[in-house]
Amino acid sequence: MNLKRWLRVLSILASVSVTGVAAGAEKLIVGYGSIGGGMWPAIVAEKKGFFSKNGLDVTYIFIEGGTRALTALISGDVRFLQVGGTEVINAALNGADVVILSSAVNTLSFDLMVTPDITRPNDLKGKRLAISRFGSTTDVGLQLALKKLGVNPKDVAFLQIGSNPARLNAMLAGQVQGGLLNSDSHAPLARKQGLRTLASLPELGIEFLQLSTATGRSYAKANPQIVQQFIRAQVAAIAWLKDERNRQEAQHILGSFLRNQDRELLDNMYESLVKKVFRAAPYATVGGAQNILEQIALTNPKARQAKPQDFIDDRFIRELEESGYIKDLYRR
């Protein structure tokens, strides 16, 4: 079944009343383009009923690859999208009516994984590296990381492979010699299978919009209440995650999403993501957008004159923060 037909089926299913969801709730199809720990707040918001408590009936659909997922957002087949900021900014530069509302992950939370024969950055020259798609977060992020490591991105070949699991399998099969994998989910799996970490990107200190929430700019303007309800649910989910009493249940929810209940892996993800990466007010940072723009500008002249603020609409988070809503979540 092609994507268009599948989304049409979901639209029909979403119109059917679901047990546990309030009658009259706004029905939304929400897309996501990658499978990893950054999706934790989103899946908690769904599984723990934070969307339904805010008057929303949300159905999530996986659309492999952020660039492809953006197409579904632009066409209106999905109303919100969990995706890398790179894909959103690229689309907006080319005239798409899209905007970033928030960002759960504001750093490059990847490890650069390589085959055992590569022991230093210079060994990457002339090698093949896996990305999801050209113009994606993994594409731009890998270029930034290579520069930090003293390697010219032009000295390596980028291959469009797909999602984290696909990139991992390509490395194990010898199709490529390296690539970015989510630090907390797929990189540990890669190490267990004999691949090695050449660099942990969080340690490189690159500000970046790795996983953002996006919507149509005109949709946000016409439906501010729905957008606010959506952001409220996400913010409430983060607060729930940060409550240590919920840790075991939270890890089970993520393990089910990842189809991996490895306790050590999930413990590490809680320590690194929930305690260090997720923020109570998940603003998309201007610095992260600026780094993306500077990299895009190397091939797209439109990015040279653009301002990072042009791609972010943070008023919904700001309203929640100024109203005291976010502080109240942590007083309970």
CA distance 20 to 273: 29
Whether residue 113 is predicted with pLDDT greater than 70 in this model: the reply is yes
212 beta partners:
83, 103
How confident is the model at residue 14, as a pLDDT?
46
Whether residue 308 is predicted with pLDDT greater than 90 in this model: the reply is yes
pTM of the model: 0.86
- Fold assignment, 110-205: D-Maltodextrin-Binding Protein; domain 2 (3.40.190)
| DSSP states along 178-228 | EEEEETTTHHHHHHHTT-EEEEEGGGGT-EEEEEEEEEEHHHHHH-HHHHH
Give the residue extent of every domain in the chain: 3-106+209-329, 110-205
How confident is the model at residue 145, as a pLDDT?
95
Mark residue 117 as left, alpha or beta (left: phi above 0; alpha: psi -120 to 50; beta: remaining). Answer: alpha
CA distance 45 to 236: 8
**Using 50, 70 and 90 to split pLDDT, how confident is the model at 25?**
confident
Provide the mean pLDDT of the chain: 92
Task: Confirm if 82 and 46 have CB atoms less than 8 A apart.
Answer: no
Please give the structure tokens belonging to residue 33: 């383009």
- Fold assignment, 3-106+209-329: D-Maltodextrin-Binding Protein; domain 2 (3.40.190)
